[in-house]
Chains A and B, each alone.
Chain A
């Protein structure tokens, strides 16, 4: 029997704060996570703002030994995973089983580690490459260190799906549970911000000067961010057996690849249309039943226009409330769709749509029902989390309140 899959715990490290409560209260209040860039000099690039995590003390979550081995992305991941496990009320040793897996997404992993190594190599020659630091760089180290922290024994996997990586990881975890390959999956994504990525986005012409205005007529681009969000996923049987609180059900997800351009979405959003329809169909619902969409909403001209076209196409003109929390947390690259999946979970829990900030002048090319500038109360039984990414990736996740979706046997495949 194919089982339902539930989210039973969430943890988050973000520019809006640490933990669910800090994140969500800031998001519904429309607070900004943007601040002057720290850690490198961005001024020569003509941009000085980012959505960095500040006030994060790894030692609050990691042992002293772990702090020496984990880079910033892995530290975020371990902290968020620890919070998620605590939020789920999982007993300390309950994850020490081959039936518990860790699945993560990222774009580049420990980008600052390789930057530090590169700088040492450039400045002082190859002998300056530290054998102790080198292994920290590998893009798959964050979930490995999460697995060691939690002592899980099932498979550990990294899906580097760029800015859609969170949805990929949640989807893969969903598949593992549904197929019977695991009972519990710790799924999420992590990303840290460093100078090369920041400069790269600036050179692509994608970074706004001070603020991110998704779907606004005068939008100027994204604000680069960082963070991590991690979830405890369980089969219904496992969750019920231990009396867990079911926060949200994962109904299904859709994938596609534009096969068009490495950084630009397909002009008609063909892959995104397919992925969104698949997420809805595989959850056993119709577009008419979707209450809210957490948009990819980067605030770039190309993305927002295409995404609006996709939503118009899939919903046949029905105006579904749409928000982009990137207007507050920035574009956290590999972690973005995980952070936004958390937004969806909290929306399902509270029936409150967080706002899209700085939405001042509607763009006629983005004719959406944007939740503008203040949070809005509304039905939230079924929601979508939309993500696009470098490589032409499209991944859409459908989440629902518990006991709303039809049984898995009545859903599409």
Chain B
């Protein structure tokens, strides 16, 4: 992959809106989990989610134009707006030279998009009448809707690419962006991911048996969005810009589960191969990696697979698990992991950082990033 320079991020997480809130909480070791949820009706029994509690996009986006937007779109729009401002691509709604709308693209990850919108409209059709479906909300059911709205709100026209690949989506977008940017399709891109809590999403994971229902066993769902302003490292250097983080390696592989496997079957083999590819493309030896930001989320069956792969390849590296503070944020997890990597680099970490994501069905992705000081 062509190395990418990551500028300032825009973040919405369980710690609130803004990268400062994220950094402060992660530095303190806070956890974003709560026993109450505001995004949907409180379910029966114990609950723990990392929600953006009482999320209100209006202070960032204003009052107008939000009526038909679902939660995932609102999260994406707030993170995108904050990113564009932080990276000085836009100021007070206008592009800052040398950036133009035609030269900036979007690559955005989600794992499940708007289950909220699908279930909402299904209920209208089932309980009332399909003729009552709100045509203003129907587009929210389409998987790339939130990504498309980012371009519409911000005038980002070079390209808009949505990626959905389960929990690996948030890393896969950075390699996709690398291809599009290296190919000269844009000068820069907003790259990141988003996922929103909804009752349908929560009940789905709960029924599959992946969630912690008070016994400490299982994952806890989260939500959020994070976008980085991304350009190729070459271009950043030509502009004389020092990035906060450089992504230099990526790998993604698939190991076919056997015919009797369930549809939730992670693969240590795929993760090992993905890590190997990521290190190879970064030109980095495994023993040079001292820090791994992994996808551990509390769901034991998956965490064990990830631990097995990492233990075999990087036995000496320290591991941190942002999902244990931010929840399982699915499509947003990859970019939130890179926000954490950027924080650690800013705090003094030196050397390559490996970021891993284990898919639910035989797929896995890994990415190598580092601070700019390590690069020749």
Contacts and interface: CB of A to CB of B under 8 A. Distances in A.
Nearest to A143: B165
Interface stretch (B52-60, B204-212, B233-241, B296-304): B204-212
Interface in B154-176: 154-166, 169, 172, 176
B118 A141 contact: no
A317 interface: no
Interface in B173-198: 176, 179-180, 183-185
Given A155-B254, A160-B164, A131 B207 contact: yes
A350 interface: no
Interface stretch (B80-88, B89-97, B139-147, B319-327): B139-147
Give the most central of B134, B139, B165: most A CB within 10 Å: B165
A144 B161 contact: no
Nearest to A149: B256
B152 A141 contact: no
Contacts of B99: none
A135 interface: yes
A136 B135 contact: no
A131 B118 CA distance: 19
A153 B111 CA distance: 21
Contacts of A227: none
Given A199-B125, A393-B144, A159 B162 contact: yes
B156 A126 contact: no
Given A172-B176, A392-B152, A107 B143 contact: yes
Label chain B's interface by main secondary structure: mixed
B143 A148 contact: no
B125 A196 contact: yes
Interface in A192-245: 195-197, 199-200, 202-205
Nearest to B182: A179
A175 to B, nearest CB: 5
Interface in B120-137: 121-123, 125-127, 129-131, 133-135
B185 A255 contact: yes
Contacts of B129: 44
A140 B164 contact: yes
Nearest to A100: B254
Contacts of A122: 122-123, 126-127
A207 to B, nearest CB: 12
Nearest to A161: B144
A194 B205 CA distance: 24
B151 interface: yes
B253 A392 contact: no
A259 B80 CA distance: 14
A76 B200 CA distance: 26
B5 to A, nearest CB: 19
Interface residues of B, number: 82
Interface stretch (B11-19, B22-30, B260-268, B310-318): B260-268
Contact of B155 (A151, A152, A259): A259
Nearest to A156: B254
A256 B180 CA distance: 12
Interface stretch (B215-223, B286-294, B343-351, B358-366): B358-366
A109 interface: yes
A357 B77 CA distance: 42
Interface stretch (A28-36, A111-119, A288-296, A367-375): A111-119
Contacts of A131: 207-209
A121 B148 CA distance: 30
Interface stretch (A83-91, A260-268, A301-309, A322-330): A260-268
A203 B155 contact: no
B293 to A, nearest CB: 20
Contact of B141 (A147, A196, A259): A196
Nearest to A260: B152
B18 to A, nearest CB: 25
B179 A115 contact: no
A262 B148 contact: yes
A206 B290 CA distance: 56
A56 interface: no
A115 B123 CA distance: 10
Contacts of B338: none
Contact of A156 (B115, B160, B165, B207): B165
Contacts of A262: 139, 145, 148-149, 152
Contacts of B135: 200, 203-205
A121 to B, nearest CB: 7
B166 A391 contact: no
B195 to A, nearest CB: 13
The 10 closest A-B pairs by CB, nearest first: A391-B148, A160-B143, A135-B263, A200-B138, A199-B130, A118-B122, A257-B160, A155-B252, A255-B159, A203-B135
16 contacts: A65-B260, A118-B118, A140-B166, A151-B256, A154-B252, A156-B363, A158-B164, A162-B143, A200-B138, A204-B135, A255-B161, A256-B157, A257-B106, A271-B157, A274-B157, A390-B145
Given A98-B273, A126-B207, A392-B160, 19 more contacts: A102-B254, A108-B143, A114-B118, A118-B122, A119-B126, A122-B122, A122-B123, A140-B111, A140-B169, A155-B253, A156-B363, A157-B165, A159-B163, A160-B113, A199-B125, A199-B131, A203-B135, A259-B151, A278-B185
